[in-house]
Amino acid sequence: MADVQKIEPDSVFAKAVKEGLLAGALAFGLFFLIVGFRTDQNIRNELVLNQRWGLLAIFVLVAAIGRFLLTAYITPWSEARSKNKRAAVEKEQSAFRKSFPKIGLGLLLIYPFLVILILWAYNGSIMGGLQGSLKYVDNFGIQILIYVMLAWGLNIVVGLAGLLDLGYVAFYAVGAYSYALLSTHFGLSFWLLLPMAGIFAALWGIMLGFPVLRLRGDYLAIVTLAFGEIIRLVLINWTVVTKGTFGISGIAKATLFGIPFTPGPTGFAALLGLPNSGVYYKIFLYYLILLLALLTAWVTIRLRRMPIGRAWEALREDEIACRSLGINTTTTKLTAFATGAMFGGFAGSFFAARQGFVSPESFVFLESAIILAIVVLGGMGSLVGIAIAAAVMIGGTELLRELEFLKRIFGPDFTPELYRMLLFGLAMIVVMVWKPRGFVGNREPSAFLHKRKMVSSEFTKEGHG
Amino acid sequence: MEYFIQQSINGLTLGSIYGLIAIGYTMVYGIIGMINFAHGDVFMLGAFMAMIVFLALTTFIGGVPVVLALLLMMIVAMLLTGLWSWTIERLAYRPLRGSFRLAPLITAIGMSIALSNFVQVTQGPRNKPIPPLVNGGITIYGTNITVAYKQMVIMFVTVILLAAFWYLVNKTTLGRAQRSCEQDRKMAALLGIDVDKTISMTFVMGAMLAAVAGTLYLMFYGVISFTDGFTPGVKAFTAAVLGGIGSLPGAVVGGLLIGLIEALWSAYFSIDYKDVAAFSILAIVLIFLPSGILGRPEVEKV
């Protein structure tokens, strides 16, 4: 930075001032109406304008000063830094990075007990530890793992087979509603319905896959989006079966080898002589979803080594070459859809068992978008990267619920929850611009000659199938 | 028959709005091959701008003639929404140009989430109703078919804009630059066309049409909310794909078709399933015509 300024001290500064002013003017134009005025209903339900020039001034100043600092200091600094960095030799992967999957898995396995122990030590009583851990196991552990599993499932379709699916949430919905309906009407148990939900979702995957076999790229994307919307709209409007927007409530919980997680004498806590608490069910659910997610990962890893997995990856790289080598692209595409959908169905039935309530509200397009974003942000095809992306994006937005202290700064009217999705959207943009190839930008090759070299995802094609 | 014609008129009105939005999708797709998912929310933003302009007019000036008010709403919404779109392209899409294909799609989805939530945060989550701007209509002589004046305004504005747009794309230097970028971006750059500027202008033009669509939507329904970007956006995108993505006449034809399907389906079958009908027809058309109605079939180069 220093020498850059020595060469042309005035010009950088002058340029920064000019760009800062321009950014300020631009921000004024952008936010003049939408921030400068706020429309509110008055008592007669008419809209009235409230003026907020102070807030507008803050927006403009932030844009101007931010742009000024960026041009004057941050850009020269980062340029100088990247120049120095380029000289440095590329390092071998560190031991931590190499064994990261194992460390992460170990941490996941002990996570609920770790939380309980920490909270036990913090609160000084076992009950405090148990009750306090509810939030962390449920909101963070289970919530993140559901998305990890969904993203791993979608990864089979998008990351391996290269089929861009914007309606993945439809299969999640199929799984959730199959469990909800079959368990409330026929009283079937979770363990019977879990595989059934997967099979139903897989069948739907094949059914929806058939018509789109000929479509490629963005046409495929829009048709899958349309299917996702169709399933949601049917769930909303077919009120006789699905009860519409009211949803289905009172769905039976899952049991552990027939032992229910109820407070009664036959319940899990009473049988093991433990104090009554809702946390056992949550911990059980945590391990269940962990198991399901690991199953997804295991199947993905195994399938990648099997002919079908090789065919998927060949399809992703070049459909024409794939076809001319005699691979049946129809079955290859359909198996990808079906396998991906099956895991979506598993996750869906788990979701229904966890919530005890399903409604079409949970299966909007936004969910598909979030799952796809996790897959891409994780670096397409890298299981570890996807898990990291899910933890960062979902965990991050869950953390925003906890930011009560912000109320003390911005006043009691401030609700951090409102900003959750705004920040989620901005984070998607920032991460993508900063690291277009996702968090983990390289992956292990499926097939290799002599030596297993990491493949940069720069070389991975996608979404052409 | 009268009922059918009446419903067709309603459908064409709705279809005009979809068509105007669809042009933005199809132009951007034609030039940089990207689904601009945030376009639906740009449309919603345009409608919000128009609403605020309308309120500012009634609050600060009082009674303004309807024609003048509508014109002002449209012009201000067009300018500001164009500015938004320019900024969005500059900040979120341009850094990713030349990156792999899914990257700009993800930023576009992120931008869509961010835009709708930004409007929610700054303007509040409630619906924003405005008093009706254009009232009344005419009954066609000897029949029961009525055409509301606001429907006539929508069709009139759409036709004018499409004519202006056709002129812009086919007869001006900017239009020629756009068409050349669409064919071969690298070659266009070699021939001295400022590709970045052309792409920016494409985004701005698409956003301006979306802003007009937003103003017309606001005038027609009299209400707007921050979630209103998604469904019209998806429908318009459906229209663009139905007509053949990348084809400008296709976008208009697709928009009108989607509008017609929706109106006729709600009239004769069930209003609850109108979106299902629109999406199903999209799927069916694409199965038989994989590149849309007016789209060029994709040539596979080996």
Which 3-state string (H, E, C) describes A93-106? CCHHHHCHHHHHHH
Kindly report, residue by residue over B198-256, the tens digit of the pLDDT. Answer: 999 999 999 999 999 999 999 999 889 888 888 888 889 888 888 888 788 889 999 99
Q: Which amino acid is at A52?
A: R
Kindly report, residue by residue over B113-130, the tens digit of the pLDDT. Answer: 999 999 988 888 888 888
Q: Positive or negative, the Cα torsion across A43, A47, A48, A54?
A: positive
Tell me phi and psi for residue A448, to 5 degrees: -150, 160
DSSP B301: P
Kindly report, residue by residue over B142-151, the tens digit of the pLDDT. Answer: 777 888 888 9
**C-alpha distances in Å from residue A287, one per residue of A147, A295, A441:** 15, 12, 29
- Between A9 and A159, residue with greater pLDDT: A159
What is the average per-residue pLDDT within B71-85? 93
* pLDDT at residue A465, as a whole number: 33
* Cβ neighbourhood burial of B25 (10 Å; 0-12, 13-18, 19+): buried
Instruction: Dump strand ranges (E) for A322-412.
Output: 357-358
Contacts of A365 in chain B (CB under 8 A): 230, 234
Give the contacts of A218 (CB within 8 A, at least 6 positions apart).
A164, B29, B35, B241, B245
- Among A146-155, A248-257, A428-437, the minimum mean pLDDT is found in A248-257
* pLDDT at residue B87, as a whole number: 92
Q: Which residue has the tokens 């004769």?
A: B268
Nearest Cα residue to B40 out of B54, B28, B53, B57: B28
Measured in angstroms, the CA of B276 and the nearest CA of chain A are apart by 5
* pLDDT at residue A172, as a whole number: 93
In a domain, A430, yes or no: no
* pLDDT at residue A441, as a whole number: 58
Percent of chain B with pLDDT over 70: 98
A337/A390 same-domain check? yes
Which of A27, A51, A81 is the endpoint of a domain?
A81
What is the average per-residue pLDDT within A283-292? 88
What is the average per-residue pLDDT within B74-87? 93
* Cβ distance of B100 and A366 shorter than 8 Å: no
pLDDT over 80 at A4, yes or no: no
Contacts of B237 in chain A (CB under 8 A): 222
pLDDT over 60 at A456, yes or no: no
Q: Which residue has the tokens 């001034």?
A: A57
- Among A52-66, A351-365, A395-409, the minimum mean pLDDT is found in A395-409
pLDDT over 70 at A8, yes or no: no
**C-alpha distances in Å from residue A319, one per residue of A127, A159, A464, A465, B283:** 58, 15, 8, 6, 22
In a domain, A341, yes or no: yes
What is the average per-residue pLDDT within A403-413? 66
In a domain, A464, yes or no: no
Which of A20, A48, A81 is the endpoint of a domain?
A81
Percent of chain A with pLDDT over 70: 79
* pLDDT at residue A91, as a whole number: 53
Measured in angstroms, the CA of A256 and the nearest CA of chain B are apart by 40
Q: Which amino acid is at B105?
A: L
- pLDDT range class, residue A393, cuts 50, 70, 90: confident
Measured in angstroms, the CA of B122 and the nearest CA of chain A are apart by 6
* Cβ distance of B129 and A47 shorter than 8 Å: yes
In a domain, A371, yes or no: yes
Instruction: Dump strand ranges (E) for A319-404.
Output: 357-358
pLDDT over 70 at A387, yes or no: yes
A173/A71 same-domain check? no
* pLDDT at residue A1, as a whole number: 42
- pLDDT range class, residue B40, cuts 50, 70, 90: very high
- pLDDT range class, residue A10, cuts 50, 70, 90: low
In a domain, A411, yes or no: no
Measured in angstroms, the CA of A34 and the nearest CA of chain B are apart by 7
- Between A348 and B288, residue with greater pLDDT: A348
What is the average per-residue pLDDT within A120-141? 71
- Between A217 and B269, residue with greater pLDDT: B269
pLDDT over 70 at A408, yes or no: no
- pLDDT range class, residue A463, cuts 50, 70, 90: very low
* pLDDT at residue B114, as a whole number: 92
Check if the beta carbon of residue B31 is closer than 8 Å to that of residue B201.
no
What is the average per-residue pLDDT within B171-186? 88
* pLDDT at residue A170, as a whole number: 92
B48 touches chain A (CB under 8 A): yes
- Among A41-55, A193-207, A259-273, A445-459, the minimum mean pLDDT is found in A445-459
**C-alpha distances in Å from residue B47, one per residue of A30, B71, B218, B237, B256:** 14, 13, 6, 18, 20
Q: How many domains does chain A have?
A: 2
A225/A173 same-domain check? yes
- Among A64-73, A133-142, A310-319, B180-189, the minimum mean pLDDT is found in A133-142
Interface of B with A in 66-125 (CB under 8 A): 76, 80, 83-84, 87, 91-92, 95-96, 99-103, 105-107, 109-115, 117-124
Nearest residue of A to residue B123 by CA position? A38
Q: Which of A85-89, B78-82, B105-109 has the highest mean pLDDT?
A: B78-82
Which of A237, A425, A463 lies at the smallest CB-CB distance from B102? A463
* pLDDT at residue B59, as a whole number: 84
> What whole-number distance in Å separates Cα of residue A375 and Cα of residue A362?
19
pLDDT over 60 at A2, yes or no: no
* pLDDT at residue B89, as a whole number: 92
pLDDT over 80 at A310, yes or no: yes
In a domain, A421, yes or no: no
Contacts of A373 in chain B (CB under 8 A): 106, 109-110
What is the average per-residue pLDDT within A33-37? 84
Q: Which residues pair with A278 in a beta bridge?
A: none
* pLDDT at residue A341, as a whole number: 93
* pLDDT at residue A6, as a whole number: 52
* pLDDT at residue A424, as a whole number: 84
Tell me phi and psi for residue B147, to 5 degrees: -115, 115
> What whole-number distance in Å separates Cα of residue B267 and Cα of residue B274?
9
> What whole-number distance in Å separates Cα of residue B71 and Cα of residue B56?
14
Q: Which residues pair with A39 in a beta bridge?
A: A49
Q: What domains are defined for chain B?
A: 2-288 (1.10.3470)
**C-alpha distances in Å from residue A213, one per residue of A221, A319, B265:** 12, 12, 28
* pLDDT at residue A88, as a whole number: 52
In a domain, A385, yes or no: yes
A262/A306 same-domain check? yes
* Cβ distance of B290 and A215 shorter than 8 Å: yes
What is the average per-residue pLDDT within A169-179? 92
Would the ipTM clear 0.90, i.e. be above it?
no
* pLDDT at residue A266, as a whole number: 67
Two tokens at A406?
């912000």
Contacts of A458 in chain B (CB under 8 A): 100
Contacts of A212 in chain B (CB under 8 A): 283, 286-287
B173 touches chain A (CB under 8 A): no
The CATH number of whichever domain residue A243 belongs to comes to 1.10.3470
- Among A405-419, A439-453, B44-58, B63-77, the minimum mean pLDDT is found in A439-453
Check if the beta carbon of residue A136 is closer than 8 Å to that of residue A437.
no
* pLDDT at residue B78, as a whole number: 93
A44/A120 same-domain check? no
Which of B56, B113, B245 lies at the smallest CB-CB distance from A421? B113
* Average pLDDT of chain A to the nearest whole number: 80
A62/A191 same-domain check? no
Contacts of A460 in chain B (CB under 8 A): 100
Check if the beta carbon of residue A230 is closer than 8 Å to that of residue B279.
yes
Give the contacts of A92 (CB within 8 A, at least 6 positions apart).
none
A367/A317 same-domain check? yes
Percent of chain B with pLDDT over 90: 34
Two tokens at B60?
């600060």
B49 touches chain A (CB under 8 A): yes
> What whole-number distance in Å separates Cα of residue A214 and Cα of residue A194?
32
pLDDT over 90 at B82, yes or no: yes
* pLDDT at residue A255, as a whole number: 74
Instruction: Identify the H or E element spanning A108.
Output: helix A100-123
A387/A328 same-domain check? yes
What is the average per-residue pLDDT within B262-266? 89
Q: Pick the residue of A28, A33, A45, A154 with the most B CBs within 10 A to test the interface with B by mutation.
A: A33
In a domain, A107, yes or no: yes
What is the average per-residue pLDDT within B41-55? 92
Nearest residue of A to residue B81 by CA position? A30
> What whole-number distance in Å separates Cα of residue A367 and Cα of residue A170?
10
- Between B239 and A257, residue with greater pLDDT: B239
Check if the beta carbon of residue A169 is closer than 8 Å to that of residue A225.
no
* pLDDT at residue A149, as a whole number: 92
- Between A31 and B43, residue with greater pLDDT: B43
Two tokens at B223?
């209400």
pLDDT over 80 at A84, yes or no: no
* pLDDT at residue A462, as a whole number: 46
Contacts of B98 in chain A (CB under 8 A): none
- pLDDT range class, residue A127, cuts 50, 70, 90: low
Which of A47, A81, A115 is the endpoint of a domain?
A81
Provide the domain limits for residue A294. Answer: 100-402+435-459
* pLDDT at residue A464, as a whole number: 37
B196 touches chain A (CB under 8 A): no
A221/A249 same-domain check? yes
A60/A171 same-domain check? no
A53/A118 same-domain check? no
Instruction: Dump strand ranges (E) for chain B.
Output: 128-129, 137-139, 146-148, 223-224
Q: Which of A73-82, A298-307, B79-88 has the highest mean pLDDT?
A: B79-88
A72/A132 same-domain check? no
